Structure 1
Amino acid sequence: MKNLNNFKYYLAAIVAFSIWGSFSLVLRPLQSYSSLDILFYRVFSCAVLMSVVSMIWKRKKMKENLERFIGLPVKKRNKILWLNIGASILLTINWFSFIYVMNHINVRATSVAYLICPVLTTVLAYLFLREKLNSSQWFAVLLSFTGCILLSYTSLINMLYSAIVGLSYACYLISQNKNDGFDKFLTLNIHIVLSAISLLPFYPFYSGPLPTQIQFYFYVEIIAILYTIVALFLNLYALSGISSSKVGMILNLNPIIAFILSITLYHESFSLITIIAYSIILMAVVIFNSSNLVQSSKSK
């Protein structure tokens, strides 16, 4: 029964990261638009949609969650408050950097970002959540770091962009592992509303002319509903049942799908060093996951 209960959390993570792996399919058609404009309309649209859903169908849960929050000790209440504020900041950084890298650098750089993200998540989970790593997992971390160094030789700027995207999401995963006890949809709603509030003062000064093409709003709504609300909700749901390091490793589905699309659909070129670096990072992923499988077998 426990394995069946865990399966739904693994499945939620698999579906979430599979969705994100295909992000380029809806983001690349918006390549002619400013990254900030895409971010503005994505976040504002999500904030409105989720708030409407919460007000209509989640009123009872909102009341229960608010009562629970007020009933917490002051120290715990402050911790939850800052966790959610920090999460909204991290999401905003991650979304903007991802959109910018995808549309103005290349798809491969976003793929690299989510190849290094699982390792960053694992190390952060070890440092802040006390999740244990064995010797082979540390070896996998070292291998991945080596691959990242090689990638930095091919393009240091691309690697820096990838690091920003990967690190911001790794920090988000770690922070939300401790943000439990509340309805996940409402938690995500708070994150996005806070993100929208933080972006609102910048909109009049940094937004471009109001988009007039229906295509823009069509793709933005797909991004808002499927690639933001649905995928992030599934991600948070997965974190409520399995550890950050396990969710982080399932995250590798994202770059694998993005990597395949960058070759087959966008025909991006790869140097020999890039291929070797990717191979080393993927080897690290296999070693890390095989270690988890061995541990699970021993437990059984």
Structure 2
Amino acid sequence: MNPVRLGYLYGFGAYLLWGFFPIYLKLLRPAGPVEILAHRIVWSVVFVALLLAAMRNIGFLRALARRPRTLAAIVVAAALIAVNWGTYIYGVNSDRVVETALGYFINPLVVVLIGVFVLRERLRPAQWAALGVGAAAVVVLTVDYGRLPYLALTLAFSFAGYGLVKKRLGLPAAEGLFVESAVLALPALAYLGWLAGRGESTFGHVSLGHTLLLVLAGAATAVPLLLFAGAANRLPLSGLGMLQYLAPILQLGCGVLIFHEPMPPARLAGFALVWVALIVFTVDAVRHTRRTRAAARTPVPVTAATR
């Protein structure tokens, strides 16, 4: 199969799984958000360790142990993804799937914002316009909710920060997920042990199906990330950028159509402003990519000074 087509297939697979992930998380109740998070971490370590063993790729740990700065950055990445996962699980299981979807809609705008304040990047006028419309959307949604949409903002900023750290680390998907989960595994196991000691663990006490779903949380976490890595290695950034909106669209659909969460006119207006900002942002990104490619293909005229 053509590598680009295979990349789109991987990308669709990853974002489809992420898009319908709220349904999976709902099935894990009556387990609480922290218990679900702890199982997700522990079983991710187990699943990816088995995968790396099958690939005979455990040796990377020895090289990593000799890079303390990289290990410190992995701890930061692990903390950010734990915040992201925990917030998402809490949002879904407190019947706020719509707000969690908002977080992933505004994530690209937050990435641009981090680029300005952390990486000192200069924005094009259209990017500033998209950020302005996005800020207006947050104001409208704040009025509608009667509070800041803090779940959405926490998801957007934690995932954007995680992406920044991961970009600088440059670790492959499986290896990166294994180390990040391993960093979190000890506190996760300690929490699960404490929960079991209090007789409050749901693991093995609800049904066989519920127990299996908790165990499979590791695979449900790792498989989309591995598919995403496969897509990222084969697709241009513009193609991958267009695919990223599939997951929050599906999550929004789950919240409104399956879980029947309210979508009053003011909230719909706030989402509409977010979508306008994303359209401006995406169109500008596509045009900029095309101009950059065209400039790269344009031959430089040979003059006397360049001979």
TM over 0.5: yes
Q: Does 1:230 align with 2:209?
A: no
Residues 65, 71 of structure 2: 8 Å contact kept: no
What secondary structure, in the 3-state scheme, does the structure 2 residue paired with 1:178 have? helix
Mapping of 1:7-22 within 5 angstroms?
12-22=10-20
Q: Letter of the 2:25 partner, please give it.
A: L
Q: Does 1:188 align with 2:177?
A: yes
Q: Letter of the 1:84 partner, please give it.
A: I
Change (3 A) 1:27 1:280: same
State the superposition RMSD in angstroms.
Answer: 2.8
Alpha-carbon distance, 1:232 to partner = 2.1
Q: What is aligned with 1:62?
A: 58
CA distance in 2, matches of 1:104, 1:83: 32
Residues 87, 172 of structure 1: 8 Å contact kept: yes
Q: What is aligned with 1:74?
A: none
Task: Choose from 34, 41, 45 the match for 2:39.
Answer: 41
Task: Choose from 105, 108, 112 the match for 1:118.
Answer: 108
Alpha-carbon distance, 1:193 to partner = 1.2
Change (3 A) 1:166 1:148: same
Alpha-carbon distance, 1:142 to partner = 1.3
Alpha-carbon distance, 1:238 to partner = 5.3
CA distance in 2, matches of 1:248, 1:168: 19
CA distance in 1, matches of 2:160, 2:175: 21
Deviations 1:199-226 (A, max 9, x none): 2333333562343212222333443213
Task: Choose from 213, 220, 238 the match for 2:214.
Answer: 220
CA distance in 2, matches of 1:248, 1:127: 21
Q: What is aligned with 1:209?
A: 201
Change (3 A) 1:240 1:67: farther
Mapping of 1:64-79 within 5 angstroms?
65-66=60-61, 68-69=63-64, 77-79=67-69
Deviations 1:57-77 (A, max 9, x none): 233x332x3565477xxxxx3
Q: Percent identity?
A: 20
CA distance in 1, matches of 2:51, 2:161: 28
Q: Letter of the 2:177 partner, please give it.
A: L
Change (3 A) 1:281 1:223: same
Which segments of 5 or more consecutive residues in structure 2 lack a partner in the other structure? 295-307
Query: Which one has the largest radius of gyration?
Result: 2
Aligned length: 287
Q: Letter of the 2:107 partner, please give it.
A: C
Q: What is aligned with 2:130?
A: 140
CA distance in 2, matches of 1:93, 1:120: 16
Task: Choose from 253, 261, 266 the match for 1:273.
Answer: 266
Q: Letter of the 2:201 partner, please give it.
A: P
CA distance in 1, matches of 2:249, 2:119: 27
Alpha-carbon distance, 1:29 to partner = 2.1
Residues 84, 190 of structure 1: 8 Å contact kept: yes
Deviations 1:257-286 (A, max 9, x none): 111122221222211110100000011111
Change (3 A) 1:20 1:147: same
Residues 151, 277 of structure 1: 8 Å contact kept: yes
The TM-score normalised by the length of structure 2 is 0.82
CA distance in 1, matches of 2:121, 2:6: 22
Q: What is aligned with 2:304?
A: none
Task: Please identify, of 8-17 and 152-161, the stretch whose mean Cα deviation from structure 2 is larger.
Answer: 8-17
CA distance in 2, matches of 1:41, 1:13: 26
Q: What is aligned with 1:92?
A: 82
Change (3 A) 1:241 1:129: farther
CA distance in 1, matches of 2:259, 2:44: 28
CA distance in 1, matches of 2:63, 2:81: 25
